[in-house]
Amino acid sequence: MFVPESIAHIMLQKISDLQSIIEADLAAIVDAASLEAFRLKHLVKKGTLQGLIDDLRSVPKEDKPTIGKALNALRSFVEERYTTIEQSLEPRTLAPSIDVTLPGRRPPVGAIHPIHAMIDRTIEIFSSMGFDVAEGFEIEDDEHNFGKLNFAPDHPARDMQDTFFIKSGVRSDVLLRTHTSSVQVRVMEAMKPPIRCIMPGKVYRNEAVSARSLAEFHQIEGLAIDKHLSVADLKATIMEFARKMYDATAEFRFRTSYFPFTEPSMEVDMSCFLCSGKGCRICKHSGWLEICGAGMVHPNVLAACGIDPEEYSGFAFGFGVERVVMLLTGIDDIRLLYENDIRVLRQFRS
Ligand code: PHE
C-alpha cells in the first residue's frame, strides 16, 4: 500500500540533503571567488536556505516547531561556518597578490645637517694637522667671554657684539657666549702648552634676523700655543685649511684688523673659489672672500689664563660656519639653514 510521506517528513529529508550539499560546498571554499559563489548559492534571498524557510509555510501547524527548529539549526550552522571561513580568508582577499617585480620602497633616510657636515669636515682637516677638539659652554660669564680676552670693562670693543645677558638673582655677569673665543680661555686655563685645539660651537648675538644674520649661529675657533709660534705658523695653518676646504689653488690676503684678544690682528681673504678671483656675484665682484678673523694671542690674554707670555706665544682664528656653508652650497638666505624644511635638507644627503 502506498503511504504518502508526510510533508514534515519530506521537509526533514530536504533539510538533511541541503545540509550535506552545504557541507560539501563549504569544504570546497578556497578563495574569495568560491566564498562568493557559496554565498550566492545558499545565503541570498533566492538561495537554497531561504527556499526551504519559505516552504515552512506549507508545513502543518503541529509540525512547524520541529521543522522550524531543524531549519534554524541549519541556518546557524551555515552562518557560523561561513563567517569563520570568511575571516580566515580576509588577509588574502584584502591583499590579493604581491607583485614581486615591483621595486622595494625605500625607508626614509636622514642625513647630517649641512652645518654639522661642515663642522665635521673642519674637524677632520684640523685633526690631520694634530689639533684636538674642545667645546666649552654656551652659557658663560663675562670673564670668559670678555674679561680674560682683554676686553676692558668700559672698552668700546664690547659694543662690537650685542650680548644676551641672562637674568639671575645672584649674578649679573651671566650671558650667552657671543663667540667661541670664550673656549680659548677655558682651554688655556685647563691645559699646559703646547696646545693645538679647535673649538666648534653655537654662539648668540642680539641681532635682527635677516637673510644674512641670525641671533644664533655657529663658529669654529682655532688656537695654537707653543714656544716660538709666529705669524708664519698662523698663515700656513689657515692656508692649509682653506686649500683643503675650498680650493687647492687659492691665493690669500691678510688685512690688518682689530680684536682685543689678538695682536697683531687680521682678517683673512681668499681668492674667490667660484670665479678664481675674476669677480662674481658671490664675491661681490671683488675676487676675494673673507674667510676668518685671526691674530697672535695677545700677551695679556696668555697671562690672564696662566700662561707666561715671555715663554710662549700663540695664534688664534675664528670663523662663522653658516657663512662657509652658504658659500659652498650657494644658499643665499641663512634662515634656510634653520627652518628644517625637508625640501632644503633633502638636497644635502650625501
Ligand atoms: N672671536 C672673533 C669674532 O667672533 C673671531 C676671532 C677669533 C678673531 C680668534 C681672532 C681670533 O669675530
Residues 7-65: tens digit of each pLDDT = 888 999 999 999 999 999 999 998 889 999 999 999 999 999 999 999 989 888 999 99
pLDDT for residue 300: 97
Whether 102 is in a domain gets the answer no
Determine which residue's CA is closest to atom 12 belonging to ligand 1.
293
Q: Per the structure, how many domains does the chain have?
A: 2
Judge if 222 and 333 occupy the same domain: yes
55 vs 304: CA distance, rounded Å:
110
**Is residue 155 in a domain?**
no
pLDDT of residue 3: 58
Instruction: Note the pLDDT of residue 227.
Output: 97
Q: Name which residue leads in pLDDT, 169 or 235.
A: 235
Which residues contact residue 18 at a Cβ distance below 8 angstroms, ignoring those fewer than 6 apart?
48, 49, 52, 74
* 278, 336: one domain: yes
Tell whether 159 is covered by a domain. Answer: no
Check whether residue 42 and residue 128 sit in a common domain: no
In a domain, 322, yes or no: yes
Is residue 283 within 8 A of residue 289, CB to CB? The reply is yes
Task: Name the pTM for this structure.
Answer: 0.70
CATH number of the domain at 277, please.
3.30.930.10
Residue 341, Cβ density class (10 Å: 0-12 exposed, 13-18 middle, ≥19 buried): exposed
Residues 175, 347: Cα–Cα separation, whole Å = 36
- Whether residues 125 and 19 share a domain: the answer is no
Residue 187 lies in a domain: no
CATH of the domain at 51: 1.20.58
Least Cα distance to 196 among 321, 116, 312, 325 occurs for 312
Domain assignment of residue 104, yes or no: no
Residues 328 and 264 grouped into a single domain: yes
Helix (H) or strand (E) holding 252: strand 252-259
Query: Are 305 and 235 part of one and the same domain?
Result: yes
Other beta carbons within 10 angstroms of residue 9's beta carbon come to: 12
Statement to judge: residues 200 and 72 lie in one domain: no
Give the pLDDT score at 167. Answer: 84
Same domain, 259 and 340: yes
The DSSP secondary structure of 277-308, one letter per residue, reads: TS--TTTTTSSEEEEEEEEEEPHHHHHHTT--
- Nearest CA, atom 8, ligand 1: 293
pLDDT interval class at 2 (50, 70, 90): low
User: Is the backbone of residue 340 left (phi > 0), alpha (psi -120 to 50) or beta?
Assistant: left
Q: Do residues 289 and 322 both lie within one domain?
A: yes
**Amino acid in position 253:** R
Q: Candidates 145, 149, 179: which one to mutate for ligand 1, based on the most atoms within 8 Å of Cβ?
A: 179
**CA torsion sign, 160 to 154 to 167 to 176?**
positive
How much is the average pLDDT of 218-226? 98
- At 100 the pLDDT is 85
User: CA-CA distance, 32 to 51, in Å (whole number)?
Assistant: 24
Q: Are 144 and 185 in contact (CB under 8 A)?
A: yes
pLDDT bin (cut points 50, 70, 90) of residue 332 is: confident
Residue 321 has pLDDT above 90, yes or no: yes
Decide if 183 is inside a domain: no
**CA 109 to ligand 1 center in whole angstroms:** 37
Q: Flag whether pLDDT at 89 surpasses 90.
A: no
**Within-domain flag for 54:** yes
**Pocket mutation for ligand 1, best pick of 178, 195, 203, 221 (most atoms within 8 Å of C-beta):** 221
Question: For residue 133, which amino acid is it?
Answer: V
Residue partners of 276: CB distance under 8 A and separation at least 6 = 249
Note whether 121 and 261 are same-domain residues.
yes
What distance in angstroms lies between residue 332's CA and the mean position of ligand 1's atoms? 23
Residues 288-317 pLDDT 10s: 999 999 999 999 999 999 999 999 999 999
- Please say whether the beta carbons of 294 and 265 come within 8 A: yes
Report the pocket of ligand 1 as residue ranges, CB < 6 Å.
179, 181, 221, 259, 262, 293-295, 316-318
Same domain? For 319 and 255 the reply is yes
318, containing H or E segment: strand 313-320
Please identify, by atom number, the ligand 1 atom nearest to the C-alpha of residue 219: 4
Indicate the residue among 93, 122, 144 that finishes a domain.
93
Q: Are residues 200 and 81 in the same domain?
A: no
Instruction: Give the cell for residue 22.
Output: 552545504
| CA 294 / ligand 1 centre spacing (Å) | 6
Cα 204 from chain centre: 23
Question: Domain containing 32: what range?
Answer: 7-93
Say how many Å lie between the CA of residue 212 and the centre of ligand 1: 18
The DSSP letter of residue 165 is B
Q: How confident is the model at residue 178 (pLDDT cuts 50, 70, 90)?
A: very high
- End-of-domain residue from the set 93, 125, 143: 93
pLDDT for res 42:
95
